[in-house]
Amino acid sequence: MQQSINEIRQQFIQDLEQVHTSSELELVKVKFLGKKGPLQNLMKGLKDVEPDQRPVVGKFINDLKEFMTASCEQLESKLIAEEEQQQLSHEALDVTLPGRQQFVGRKHPLTQAMDQIIHILAGMGFSVQYGPDIDTDYYNFEVLNFPPEHPARDMQDTFYVSPHVLLRTHTSNIQARAMEVNKPPIRIIAPGKVYRNETITARSHVFFHQVEAVYIDKQVSFADLLATMDEFLKKLFKQSIETRYRPSYFPFVEPGMEVDISCLVCNGKGCQLCKHSGWVEVAGAGMIHPEVLRNGGIDPEQYSGFAWGMGLERLVMMLRGISDIRLFTENDLRFLKQFTAL
């Protein structure tokens, strides 16, 4: 008995010397301390030992068990510490790696400009009123003095949803609504998208943005319109801007005009945006037609007003030196990332 205890101990020590990893150690533990291990056999053999020898032999077996358990535990903590150390050295931070730049999102250049325009006009006393993109023929045309079959309806190639429902062709669809819900003095702006069935080119698109402005009060004059427009453009461009007012026709204003500003993309020299004229049209404007005031429940004998509809994309192209309107909707990050806040 004593001999086999010694043999097992020797064998255990030998095996343990070969162990280099915690999984190898696990195998040794199973072999010597497991249910089918030599200790169990020794225990079973105890009954054949002389009764007076049993406590002594039993103690040897126990000592062996304790020795093996303690050796395994000791080795195990050593191995685990080594293995953790090794893993850490693999995962360690390489402080010489160049840092990754954080990507900070920003607003679309059109949104930035729209925010700025609203901010400026709010400072000049206008409040914002939104209108629907999908609207009726009534608000987009009829109430604005476009009688049915009026040839001016063909001026704007309209996307129809159904015979009387359409995608608004201009933000002027807010004019009658502004008069319905407010009493003069009325000073509102209406920013939003508008839609026209046009050929897409560097200068025009099937949808773009406008900012409508409506000012109705006693004795609002054409001079107020010109002054407000000039003041607004000056604030937006942070410099005096050369403007050109050309008489034009819109059924809902009288007199009506188109507003050009000198092309800032080419500084008036001529480019594809200004069609080599040096001027870019940015708005339609005029004194609100008496008939439109009447349709909105306002007495044109007492009140007068001006309105403008300004194209956002053209303004932003001037502000930022962009020569192709299609860039705004192509979602090319190389383009979008160039624009920090105005």
Q: Per the annotation, where are the binding residues for Mg(2+)?
A: 254
Q: Tell whether residue 170 is a contact of ligand PHE (CB under 6 A).
A: yes
First to last CA, the chain: 94
Question: Stretches 46-54, 259-267, 304-312, 334-342: which one binds ligand PHE (CB under 6 A)?
Answer: 304-312
We find the least distance from the C-beta atom of residue 222 to ligand PHE, in angstroms, to be 12
Residue in this structure with the two tokens 């953790």, named with its chain if needed: 84
Q: Tell whether residue 139 is a contact of ligand PHE (CB under 6 A).
A: no
* Bridging pattern class, strands 253-262 and 207-217: unpaired
Residue in this structure with the two tokens 């005029």, named with its chain if needed: 286
Compare residues 184 and 309 and give the one whose CB is closer to ligand PHE.
309
CA torsion, ordered 138, 139, 141, 147, to nearest 10 deg: 40
> Residues 131, 251, 256, 305: which binds ligand PHE (CB under 6 A)?
256
Size of the site for ligand PHE (CB under 6 A): 11
Compare residues 274 and 288 and give the one whose CB is closer to ligand PHE.
288
Question: Stretches 94-102, 106-114, 184-192, 248-256: which one binds ligand PHE (CB under 6 A)?
Answer: 248-256
Determine what percent of the chain falls in helix, strand and coil, rounding each to the nearest 5.
45, 20, 35
We find the least distance from the C-beta atom of residue 129 to ligand PHE, in angstroms, to be 14
Compare residues 38 and 305 and give the one whose CB is closer to ligand PHE.
305
- Phi-psi group of 223: left, alpha or beta (phi > 0 → left; psi -120 to 50 → alpha; rest → beta): alpha
Q: Tell whether residue 251 is a contact of ligand PHE (CB under 6 A).
A: no
Q: Alpha helices, DSSP H only, in 197-309?
A: 222-237, 290-295
Q: Tell whether residue 305 is a contact of ligand PHE (CB under 6 A).
A: no
We find the least distance from the C-beta atom of residue 140 to ligand PHE, in angstroms, to be 10
Distance in angstroms (rounded) separating the CA atoms of residues 110 and 93: 42
We find the least distance from the C-beta atom of residue 218 to ligand PHE, in angstroms, to be 20
We find the least distance from the C-beta atom of residue 315 to ligand PHE, in angstroms, to be 14
Q: What is the largest CA-CA distance in the chain?
A: 132
We find the least distance from the C-beta atom of residue 250 to ligand PHE, in angstroms, to be 4
Helix (H, G, I), strand (E, B) or coil at 83: helix
Compare residues 184 and 284 and give the one whose CB is closer to ligand PHE.
284
| Contact (CB, 8 A) for 222 and 202 | no
> Residues 32, 208, 303, 308: which binds ligand PHE (CB under 6 A)?
308
147-151 CB contacts, 8 Å cutoff, 24+ apart: 150/251
Which positions from 284 through 303 interact with ligand PHE, judged by CB under 6 A?
284-286
Residues 6+ apart with CB under 8 A from 50: none
- Residue numbers at the binding site for ligand PHE (CB under 6 A): 170, 172, 250, 253, 256, 284-286, 307-309
